[in-house]
Amino acid sequence: MRYVQPGTAKEAATLLAKEKGKAFVLAGGTDLLVKMKAGMEEPDLVVDIKAIKGIKDIKKSASGFVIGAAVPCAALGENKDLVKAWPGVVEGASLIGSKQVQGRCTMAGNLCNASPAADSVPGLVAAGAKVVLTSAKGSRKLAVEAVLAGVGRTNLKKGEFVTAIELPKKEARSGDAYLRFIPRTEMDIAVVSCAVNLTIDGKGVITKARVALGAVAITVLLVKEAAAAIIGTKLDDVAKKKLVAACSAACKPIDDKRGTVEFRTEVAGVLARRAAETAYARAGGK
Amino acid sequence: MGVHVKTTVNGDEVEFTCAEDEVLLDVLRNRLGLTGAKEGCGTGDCGACSVILDGRLVCSCLVLGAEMQGKKVETIEGMAVGQKLHPLQQHFIDGAALQCGVCTPGFLMAADALLRKNPNPTEEEIRFGLAGNLCRCTGYDKIVRAVQAAAKEMRG
Amino acid sequence: MSVDSMNPDLVNKKFKIIGTRPPRPDGIDKVTGRARYGADFTMPGQLIGLVLRSPHAHALIEKIDTSKAEKLLGVKAVITSKDLPDLTGGDRGMFDILENCMARKKALYDGHAIAAVAAVDAATARKALKLIDVKYKVLPHVTDVDEALKPDSPVIHSHVFTEGIEPAPTKPSNWNKRAEYGHGDVDAGFREADVVISRSYKTEQTHQGYIEPHSVSASVSPDGMAEMWVCTQGHFVYRNQCATLLGLDANKLRVTASEIGGGFGGKTHVWAEPLALALSRKANRPVKLTMTRDEVFRCTGPTSSTSVDVKIGAKKDGTITAAYAELRYQGGAFPSNWAEFGAMTSWACYDLKNVKSVSKDAIVNRPKCAAYRAPSAPAAAFAIESTVDEVAKAIGMDPIDFRIKNAAKEGTKSSYGPVYGPIGIGPTLEAAKNHPHMKAPLGKNMGRGMACGFWFNFGGQTCVDVNITPDGNVNVAQGTIDVGGARAAIAMAVAEELGVAYENVRSVVADTSSLGHNDMTDGSRGTFSSSMAAVFAARNAITVLRNRAAKIWEIPVDEVEWKDGAAHAKGTHHGNRTPLSLKEIAAQAGNTGGPMAGHAEITADGAGVSFATHIADVETDPETGRSLVKRYTVIQDAGKALHPSYVEGQYQGGAAQGIGWALNEEYVYGKDGRLQNAGFLDYRIPVCSDLPFIDTQILEIANPHHPYGVRGVGETSIVPPLAALAIAVSNATGVRQTHLPMSPPRVLKSLKSK
Amino acid sequence: MSNRHIIHLWGALRPFAGGALSISVEAFTIRELFRKLSELHPGMEPHIKRGVAVSIDGKIYRDQWETPLPPDAEIYLLPRVPGG
């Protein structure tokens, strides 16, 4: 295996494009190194992107936030503006692994690892976040949900990698929230998870919503029916019931060591309801 | 073959050559003779290999040695100053916060990282701050109490 | 010195040091990273050993081709079972250990060792493993205990015929043993009952979950001289087992115990050690072999999964008229007695006229079970205490009063046979009843459970040497492994006897060449037996010291007494002499007879049985089935707590392990017979944020068979939590919980059946 | 002083005594008891070699074979239980 630490994104992309063997991007490494330890991956090339200028920065702009691909999740929670604007996104990113893992892991890595249970992804999907993909030829943007192709698979092309995640500007009277279910209080992979992002009008009626579910299908799901169930409501009991039903209906989970189909299907609805309540309150709804 | 790295460990400049895929934990243990960090799992799930890297608590099993160029690493071996134990170390002994002791270096690093950020944590903040470190002997009771006692002493 | 010759006159003595909480001698090493555990040791020129393991649950090994691996540059030895010939001389138990260390004709479980390599580094050893070609013929497998007992289950060992049934079976099966305990007539007892409740329970397999993986460094020379550095609960036992399996002389195999990073029964017999020795012998180089966490879960010794039926009959006045249990435990891929031990402990808390326990031990394609803290008792207690709780409610009695009414006491004929002497179940129940925890209010979705537990403690073979150094300080060499602070407790006992300061005594765990045989630190015996030996060794040293003082003073030894750390002359002629301190006597040792020491080599029987009562409050989320422990109290008899902090630590640690077992820990096997969660991510032991503070109450009902009244305290604390939590969750949810762990999917499913 | 004792057997030993729950043996110590049991019921010998615990009036002995068996003592043979 070769280890390189290029100074520019273009250089990194070129190295990735040229490699004939198995090439991996190293940001936090908290997934890659585990796979290497288990013998599941034997890279020929590891491109450490952390020396790329600006890739460890969080930038606030008029159009929102640009979060460099190598920003460790622990840094997200330390950025007061980000926490204020996107508490649900930060909640999701702050639940990955332990404090130790938080010091290393990145949202970009969490996304590109393409686990259906990735904690930071539902929040990003609900927020309508985009990724910036860089290749030797230039860059393009893609909605976060469009990055995911399946378990462990992304739609990234060879030689292309995520350099940043863009979060839109927080709308007035909006709020987001993320909840996951784990058997313990920490350290587990989500058995099922849900993020809700919604906006209300001056009367407390939901005008916009995005609902994303994790660990209930081969990728994180953006559930339009769930959003539709609460748009136009004040998140009353009927709306919540419809939301729960829509979320459970959208689930296509599996039985595995972490949970059963029945459990995931049922708890997806429970979490959606609870996350929606939190998001609604954060938006200023009563 | 191999990567040559210059880095700072516990304030000392060190140089080593390691394999490209070698993790920091193995570098510390096998190349630098610092066996205080332990491998309990090798997958970031137990915290026994915790060290502080550029001010952030990390599992040294999930960091490559090759990434260490120009970094600052703090390990359990650097926690005491001369003969003077860190208050956390002293309270772990006085409060019987260790039984077998194999998780202790990791807990001390995690507790140190916690108290640097939050000198007056609640019980809940301590418990979540240490949730990445597994202990199988103590039920965590005396560990949490030792951290509380050390924090109190350090606040003066 | 025999134990019965001891004078238990110190039971009520006013102690100066015993009962205080001094720092442990290994404390600073452990907080500074200096303490050396299994993997922290390096031998000159050492190789790295790695093991190739079966991916199949059950398979014939048709062929192993190691030739490519042997040719790889840097590989110094490759071994298979051919390098470990059977030297066990017909000892079936030892042969099972040998076969467990390295598969012979068949792989018996996922993770069973097939071959091992030693190479110059880990990378080369990993490459070599990939070059070993094994041809398997996969066989049908069974991993569930009840499935294994069915007549059509695939038979794992053709030599196993069920023991304990008449007539003796003619066909081999996976049911290796039936046993029965009890007395009276249970059928008659059930006819007398006003209420009879029957329930079936299951518990899944759990692992001790020690944080330090097994690690051994071994060096064998062509002349048979050998050394081993290893993390173990019993270095003498490891020496004896390895010497037998490798054909070495025990005296030539010197074993040094590293600091041990947890064991809980899981480091009580050998796994990797004979392989490291065999590799070293073949390579003529030291070999270090350290397991990965995945290996620890897949191929060391977890505890049984179980299936238990319980039936209790009681009268309306609260008298239990009959108690019956059938206990089915799997012991992994080899014959075992775990169900039988479960049967022995099952009803031990109660005074029963009619009681019967039947055990069925089963063999399955899982790793060979090892002891896990009070082995077999927790699962039995879960089933029995849960049913006791249900019967109490059915007759309208408070469960604690129902237990007090039926509790065993001095004179009770125990369910496993003997009549009890003075025991502590009653006092722990009374203490629980009066504990503020029992009266604290409960919030929404919360439930409270309480349960009792029993365990046999034991003593066994033990040596302690007390050596006086020339400067008048004291070295103690003990032969039992210190797992939780025992070196401090042993040094305290010696200091107490000699009348010197604790700081003047240092205790170390000596290697196998320095002391006689010592049993392992298991059965809650470490501090019990070593403190007993330490007291005797110190008393022997005092005899020597008195003699030396007598020589210095030129008076008869009868006129010298030892108190407060000094020799005092007594009698009318000598009473005005200035006492001679230990330091002064030590300074003259050379001309009064040479080095001064006291030794004790004892069999410390008389450990006394142990009881505990626990109280647990949980909160269960009715929408997700997740339970969190909100409050927990442990009440247990310690006899005498030498170092109360470490006794509390044992109570808290056992409770935490039991909580993990009750709520989330379990081995998950796939249909392919492979373990799916061999890591700390998905084998979920409690983390710090999962638990509350664990309150402890130490009762001290002196054990008359120990000079200070000590009872073992290590194990009983894991017995009640499974039941206490199951009862608490049942109360929180209104649905009786009968399957552990009470993982959220399982609890949520049970709520659907409400 | 009578040294005849009723020795209660646990399940696994009973087949070697014709299924009896207990047997009568004359012995002053555990060692003598084990010797006589092996002579009278040879099938028990492998069990004794593997390890048998003896409960004398409720106190359990595992290793001290010199322990006397007091007159009228209640004596149970039990399997040796392992610990964790």
3-state secondary structure chain A: CEEECCCCHHHHHHHHHHCCCCEEEECCCCCHHHHHHCCCCCCCEEEEHHHCCCCCCEEEECCEEEEECCCEHHHHHCCHHHHHHCHHHHHHHCCCCCHHHHCCCEHHHHHHCCCCCCCHHHHHHHHCCEEEEEECCEEEEEEHHHHEEECCEECCCCCCEEEEEEEECCCCCEEEEEEEECCCCCCCCCCEEEEEEEEECCCCCEEEEEEEEECCCCCCEECHHHHHHHCCCCCCHHHHHHHHHHHHHHCCCCCECCECHHHHHHHHHHHHHHHHHHHHHHCCCC
Burial letters C406-422, b for 16+ CB under 10 A, else e:
bbbeeebbbbbbbebee
Indicate the pairing of strand C113-119 with strand C106-107: unpaired
Range of the domain at B132: 87-155
Q: What is the mean pLDDT of residues C557-564?
A: 95
Rg (chain C; Cα; Å): 27
Q: Is C523's Cβ below 8 Å from some Cβ in D?
A: yes
Burial, A187: exposed, middle or buried (Cβ in 10 Å; 0-12, 13-18, 19+)?
Answer: buried
Shared domain check, B74 and B16: yes
User: Which residues 25-44 of C are in CB contact (within 8 Å) with B?
Assistant: 26-28, 30-37, 39-40
Name the DSSP class of C264: T
Q: How many CB atoms lie within 10 A of CB C751?
A: 15
Q: How far apart are CA C659 and CA B139, in angstroms?
A: 10
Indicate the pairing of strand B3-9 with strand B72-74: parallel
* Inter-chain residue contact C688 with B103, CB threshold 8 Å: no
C671 is a domain residue? yes
Q: How far apart are CA A115 and CA D50, in angstroms?
A: 53
- Selecting from B43, B56, B69 the residue whose C-beta is nearest the C-beta of A103 gives B56
CA distance C267 to chain D (A): 9
pLDDT tens string A60-114: 999 999 999 999 999 999 999 999 999 999 999 999 999 999 999 999 999 999 9
- Selecting from A183, A256, A266 the residue whose C-beta is nearest the C-beta of C626 gives A183
Q: What is the mean pLDDT of residues C603-614?
A: 90
Q: What is the mean pLDDT of residues C523-541?
A: 95
Share of chain A above pLDDT 90, in %: 100
Neighbouring chains of B at 3+ CB pairs under 8 Å are A, C
Mutate to test the interface with D, among C423, C458, C602 (most CBs of D within 10 A): C458
Shared domain check, C617 and C580: no
- Selecting from B21, B44, B67 the residue whose C-beta is nearest the C-beta of A30 gives B44
* Inter-chain residue contact B64 with A3, CB threshold 8 Å: yes
Dihedral angle over CA of B103, B105, B109, B110, nearest 10: 10
Q: Domain locations in chain D? A: 4-79
- Selecting from C625, C682, C687 the residue whose C-beta is nearest the C-beta of A186 gives C687
Q: Which residue has the tokens 């003997």?
A: C418
Query: Is the pTM of the predicted complex or chain greater than 0.95?
Result: yes
Contact D49, C91 (CB under 8 A): no
∠ CA(C199), CA(C418), CA(C342), 5° rounding?
35
* Inter-chain residue contact C682 with A263, CB threshold 8 Å: no
Residue C749: its chain A contacts at CB < 8 A? 260, 262-263
Shared domain check, C684 and C546: no
Contact C190, C311 (CB under 8 A): yes
- Selecting from D55, D76, D81 the residue whose C-beta is nearest the C-beta of C341 gives D81
Contact A57, A71 (CB under 8 A): yes
The pLDDT value recorded for residue A174 is: 98
Mean pLDDT check: name the lowest of A169-178, A201-210, C178-187, C605-614: C605-614
Residue A72: its chain B contacts at CB < 8 A? 56
Q: Which residue is closest to C461 within chain D, CA to CA?
A: D63
C409 is a domain residue? no
Residue B63: its chain A contacts at CB < 8 A? 29, 33, 104
Q: Which residue has the tokens 């058997």?
A: A183
Q: How many CB pairs under 8 A join A and B?
A: 90
Mean pLDDT check: name the lowest of B124-128, C438-442, D16-20: D16-20
Residue C164: its chain D contacts at CB < 8 A? 11-12, 15
Q: What residues have CB less than 8 Å from A222, skipping those under 6 apart?
A: A125, A126, A145, A210, A211, A212
* Inter-chain residue contact A257 with C677, CB threshold 8 Å: yes
Contact C104, C62 (CB under 8 A): no
Q: Which residue is closest to B19 within chain C, CA to CA?
A: C123
Q: What is the mean pLDDT of residues C701-717?
A: 92
Superfamily holding D4-79: Beta-grasp domain (3.10.20.30)
Residue A185: its chain C contacts at CB < 8 A? 628, 687, 689-690
Mutate to test the interface with C, among B30, B52, B134, B140 (most CBs of C within 10 A): B140
Distance, C-alpha B72 to centroid of its chain: 13
Q: What residues have CB less than 8 Å from D18, skipping those under 6 apart?
A: none
The closest of C109, C701, B66, C181 to A50, measured between CA atoms, is B66
| Residue type at position C252 | K
Q: Which residue is closest to D18 within chain C, CA to CA?
A: C166
Q: How many CB atoms lie within 10 A of CB C85?
A: 11
Mutate to test the interface with A, among C129, C297, C748 (most CBs of A within 10 A): C748
Residue A187: its chain B contacts at CB < 8 A? 45, 131-132
- Selecting from C676, C681, C686 the residue whose C-beta is nearest the C-beta of A189 gives C681
- Domain end, chosen from C535, C561, C594, is at C594
Residue B66: its chain A contacts at CB < 8 A? 3, 48
Q: Which residue has the higher pLDDT, D15 or D69?
A: D69
Residue C663: its chain A contacts at CB < 8 A? 183
Q: How many CB atoms lie within 10 A of CB A203?
A: 7
pLDDT bucket at D60, cuts 50 / 70 / 90: confident
pLDDT tens string C204-221: 999 999 999 999 999 999
Shared domain check, B68 and B9: yes
C752 is a domain residue? yes
* Inter-chain residue contact A186 with C743, CB threshold 8 Å: no
CA distance B6 to chain C (A): 23
| Residue type at position B80 | A
Shared domain check, B110 and B62: no
Shared domain check, B93 and B53: no
pLDDT tens string B10-45: 999 999 999 999 999 999 999 999 999 999 999 999
Q: How far apart are CA B108 and CA C27, in angstroms?
A: 13
User: Which residues 481-510 of C are in CB contact (within 8 Å) with D?
Assistant: none
Domain CATH code at residue C647? 3.30.365.10
Can you read off the two tokens belonging to residue B143?
Answer: 């560990």
* Inter-chain residue contact C268 with D8, CB threshold 8 Å: no
Share of chain B above pLDDT 70, in %: 100
pLDDT tens string C130-154: 999 999 999 999 999 999 999 999 9
Mutate to test the interface with B, among A100, A105, A188 (most CBs of B within 10 A): A100
Shared domain check, B95 and B151: yes
Share of chain C above pLDDT 90, in %: 93
Q: Domain locations in chain A? A: 174-282
- What domain count does chain B have? 2
The pLDDT value recorded for residue C7 is: 44
Residue D81: its chain C contacts at CB < 8 A? 341, 344, 375, 456, 458, 523
Residue C690: its chain A contacts at CB < 8 A? 184-186
- Domain end, chosen from C572, C594, C616, is at C594
Q: Which residue has the higher pLDDT, C6 or C264?
A: C264
* Cα–Cα distance list, A73 to A82, A186, A248, C517, D64 (Å): 12, 16, 30, 54, 62
The pLDDT value recorded for residue D19 is: 85
Judge whether residue C572 has pLDDT over 80: no
Q: Is C417's Cβ below 8 Å from some Cβ in D?
A: yes
The pLDDT value recorded for residue D1 is: 56
The pLDDT value recorded for residue D81 is: 86
- Domain end, chosen from B44, B78, B112, is at B78
pLDDT bucket at C24, cuts 50 / 70 / 90: very high
ipTM score for this prediction: 0.96
Range of the domain at C634: 422-457+608-754
Conformational region of residue B153, where left means phi above 0, alpha means psi within -120 to 50, and beta covers everything else? alpha
C208 is a domain residue? no
The pLDDT value recorded for residue C5 is: 37
The pLDDT value recorded for residue A286 is: 87
Can you read off the two tokens belonging to residue C539?
Answer: 């008393």
Q: What residues have CB less than 8 Å from C671, skipping those under 6 apart?
A: none
Contact C64, C105 (CB under 8 A): no
Shared domain check, B96 and B65: no
- Domain end, chosen from C545, C565, C594, is at C594
Main-chain dihedrals φ then ψ at residue C480, nearest 5 degrees: -95, 140
Contact D75, D24 (CB under 8 A): no
Shared domain check, C662 and C732: yes
Rounded to the nearest integer, the mean pLDDT of chain C is 95
Rounded to the nearest integer, the mean pLDDT of chain B is 97
The pLDDT value recorded for residue C56 is: 98
The pLDDT value recorded for residue C2 is: 35
Q: Is A151's Cβ below 8 Å from some Cβ in B?
A: no
CA distance C417 to chain D (A): 7
**CATH architecture of residue range(s) A174-282:** 2-Layer Sandwich (3.30)
Residue B19: its chain C contacts at CB < 8 A? 123
pLDDT tens string D1-43: 578 999 999 888 888 888 888 999 999 999 999 999 999 999 9
Main-chain dihedrals φ then ψ at residue C630, nearest 5 degrees: -100, -30
Q: How far apart are CA A120 and CA A107, in angstroms?
A: 6
Judge whether residue C1 has pLDDT over 80: no
Can you read off the two tokens belonging to residue A86?
Answer: 């996107």
Shared domain check, B138 and B108: yes
- Selecting from C265, C371, C606 the residue whose C-beta is nearest the C-beta of D59 gives C606
Main-chain dihedrals φ then ψ at residue C521, nearest 5 degrees: -85, 85
* Inter-chain residue contact C663 with A183, CB threshold 8 Å: yes
Q: Is C258's Cβ below 8 Å from some Cβ in B?
A: no
The pLDDT value recorded for residue D47 is: 86
Residue B77: its chain C contacts at CB < 8 A? 32-33
- Selecting from C624, C628, C681 the residue whose C-beta is nearest the C-beta of A267 gives C624
